[in-house]
Structure 1
Amino acid sequence: MSQTIAQIAQALEAEAVGNLDLVVGSASEPASARADQIALAMNPKYGEGLAQGHARAAILWQGADWQSFGLEAAIFVTRPRLAMAGLSRAFDPGPEIAPGIHPSAVIDESAVIGAGAAIGPFTVIGRDVVIGANARIASHVSIAQDAQIGSDALILEQVHIGARVVIGARFICQPGARIGADGFSFVTPEPSMVEEARASLGKHAEIHEQPWVRIHSLGTVEIGDDVEVGANSCIDRGTVRATKIGAGTKLDNLVHVAHNVQVGRDCLLCAQVGIAGSTSIGDRVVLAGQVGVSDNIFIGDDVITGGGTDVYTNVPSGRVVWGSPAVKMDTQVEINKSLRRLPRLFAQVKDLRETVTRLTQKGGAE
């Protein structure tokens, strides 16, 4: 994956100076960079590391005096993380999946495999499955009957895609994800303790036997274009309607999307997010790590939640929330400040009580 400085600059749509024909094979932190690597020093605080490494070229912040670092070439960027996206794409060869269909793959004769698709060893593809053109499917993947996967998909090891799941183009799925498993949905013949506790806020929950009866999942999962699903994440099929993930949305590792959930476009669901059944998430919503979302609520467009937030009620569009339960982030900051002040406040109240007691005793004695 060697690249010239000119090629990297073109990929980043950035300004480059010096020897643009210089070839580098990978990227590195400045202090540990070899001569055949490009150093990443996109912030002035990383400039000192260039003297410790051996890089001949670097990606620098705008306005940097590149020649003072002894470099032969430099690329200037204004948005480091965006530059990292382009740079990592240029150097990433992707997983090694041999072209064509591996002899050990088991593919139903009714399945339709698009032109240029690559299917790895021990993969099983069921009846009437449709795989789009140029899809790449690694080893030990299972795709159940009637599933549809769009073009240019990348599905990595040990992914399971359930029956009737529909997935758009350019889908990326990391190892171990499960898409289209049954939802976790059960009911009792009589109103359960859970229902009673919820209705009464825990005041009148009568304890009694309650066998659970399974509600089967008749729906499926529908996923838009350009969606990514992280390792060991789970998206459950709907009870009757489909669970939906909008185009451009990205799921991190260990995310759980329950039955009937509707997730909008271009959302970010970070690690260990859990969304309970029948909840609707708007467009461009960011749920930070370990956020929990209750069932049957609505989160509006452009909502951002801080890490560890518990969302129990509807959240209006455009709001930034944090805490348990979720409140506006500035409110939660004030709550945290107040909690830190409690020990001092209790000490002051104790002193005041002692003072009042002494004054009362003194007044009574007089």
Structure 2
Amino acid sequence: MAFTLDQIATALGARLEGDGSLTITRAAEPAEAGPDALALAMKPDYAEGLARGGAQAAILWDGADWRALGLRAALFVPRPRYALSGLTRLMDPGPEIAPGIHPSAVIDPDARIGDGAAIGPLVVIGPRAEIGPRARIAAHAAIAEEARIGADALILAGVRIGARVTLGDRVIVQPGAVIGADGFSFVTPEKSAVENVRATLGDAGAAGAQSWTRIHSLGSVTIGDDVEIGANSCIDRGTIRDTVIGAGTKLDNLVHVGHNVRIGRDCLLCGQVGIAGSVRIGDRVVFAGQVGVNDNIFIGDDVIAGGATKIFTNAPAGRVLLGYPAMRMDAHVEAYKGLRRLPRLFAQVAALQKAVSKLSRSD
């Protein structure tokens, strides 16, 4: 695909200076940009890269002299990274899924396919499933019975959508994700060692034979509009009520959401986040990579947790967390500074003990 700088400026709401008729076919880092590329030189640090590359046009930082940088044109935007979202949307052709239904797809006669939907090779769609208008489903995806996929959804290769799962409009599910597997729910006839440990904080009780009996998952999963689910992520169905993910929330790759979890709107869950069963999470919550959340707790609106934070207790709205176990980020930083000082403190204490011992012997 090719675009003129005029077209790109209009799409981004950018200020254009120079020759708007230049044709752009791709975006590139400044040092790797050729004459057909739009160089992404959004900070002064990139000026050296522009000199090494062959770009004729660039997105530049505010105040940059594009003529002095050897360019024929430049775009200026108030928030470069936000502009990058619009530029990539404009230039991304998306997956190639042919319109209509591929001959190899297996679709139950009772399924309903919306107008303009595209169903790829070897897709399986179960009884009474509903596929919304203009939804696109890539190869080898499986949609189970009574699942509902919203309008303009994009389901990529190898995705598994379980029975009675509901996906809102414009949902994107990356390859290999599984939505609607059974929850990990098991119980013992007698009180288990795990229950004893929870109650006593350490005593597992008398050892003995113990068998696990499945609690079946009668609920499903409900996902709101404009949600994105990363590759190989797993969202378990609820035990009785549905697991719920609110509109606008984004899940990275390899995120696990346990049964009965309720996640609010516009949350961001980064790679390898794990959320145990029956957790309630508010709106606009951000979890960095490898955050873990204990079961049956509440996370308030606007909570932010840094990488590898482990949250074991309720977190009030607006709290910024870090560490294992989680604590306020500023307190964790101070605690870590103290931890690093411990060897020096031990050496000082040892020296003081030696000095005191000498004084005692001299007495």
Q: Is TM (by shorter chain) over 0.5?
A: yes
Aligned to 1:286: 286
Counterpart-to-counterpart distance in 1, 2:234 and 2:203: 34
TM-score, normalisation: structure 2:
0.99
Q: In the TM superposition, what are the counterparts of 1:134-145 in structure 2 within 5 Å?
A: 134-145=134-145
Q: Please give the per-residue CA displacement for 1:221-250, whole angstroms capped at 9, x wherever unaligned.
A: 000000000000000000000000000000
Aligned to 2:32: 32
Aligned to 1:102: 102
Q: Please give the per-residue CA displacement for 1:260-286, whole angstroms capped at 9, x wherever unaligned.
A: 000000000100000000000000000
CA pair 213-204 structure 1, distance change in 2 beyond 3 A: closer
Question: What's the Cα RMSD here?
Answer: 0.7
Shift of 1:206: 2.3
In the alignment, structure 1 segments of 5+ residues that lack a partner are: none
Shift of 1:204: 5.1
Contact 1:193/1:208 (8 A) holds in 2: no
Counterpart-to-counterpart distance in 2, 1:315 and 1:27: 42
Name whichever of 269-278 and 70-79 sits farther off: 70-79
Q: In the TM superposition, what are the counterparts of 1:196-345 in structure 2 within 5 Å?
A: 196-203=196-203, 205-345=205-345
Counterpart-to-counterpart distance in 2, 1:184 and 1:203: 24
Aligned to 1:132: 132
Counterpart-to-counterpart distance in 2, 1:25 and 1:169: 30
Give the secondary-structure state (helix, strand or coil) at the position aligned to 1:17: strand
Number of residue pairs aligned between Structure 1 and Structure 2 = 363
Contact 1:42/1:77 (8 A) holds in 2: no
TM-score, normalisation: structure 1:
0.98
Aligned to 1:348: 348
Contact 2:193/2:204 (8 A) holds in 1: no
Q: Percent identity?
A: 66
Counterpart-to-counterpart distance in 2, 1:336 and 1:10: 49
Contact 2:256/2:274 (8 A) holds in 1: yes
Q: Please give the per-residue CA displacement for 1:131-179, whole angstroms capped at 9, x wherever unaligned.
A: 0000010000000000001000000000000000011000100000000
Show structure 1 runs of 4+ deviating over 3 A.
Answer: none
Counterpart-to-counterpart distance in 1, 2:254 and 2:206: 35
Amino acid at match of 1:341: R
Is 1:122 the counterpart of 2:127? The answer is: no
Q: In the TM superposition, what are the counterparts of 1:143-222 in structure 2 within 5 Å?
A: 143-203=143-203, 205-222=205-222
Counterpart-to-counterpart distance in 2, 1:355 and 1:131: 80
Give the secondary-structure state (helix, strand or coil) at the position aligned to 1:355: helix
Shift of 1:78: 2.5
Aligned to 1:41: 41
Counterpart-to-counterpart distance in 1, 2:42 and 2:204: 61
Counterpart-to-counterpart distance in 2, 1:92 and 1:122: 25
Shift of 1:77: 1.8
In the alignment, structure 2 segments of 5+ residues that lack a partner are: none
Counterpart-to-counterpart distance in 2, 1:47 and 1:5: 20
Counterpart-to-counterpart distance in 1, 2:204 and 2:78: 60
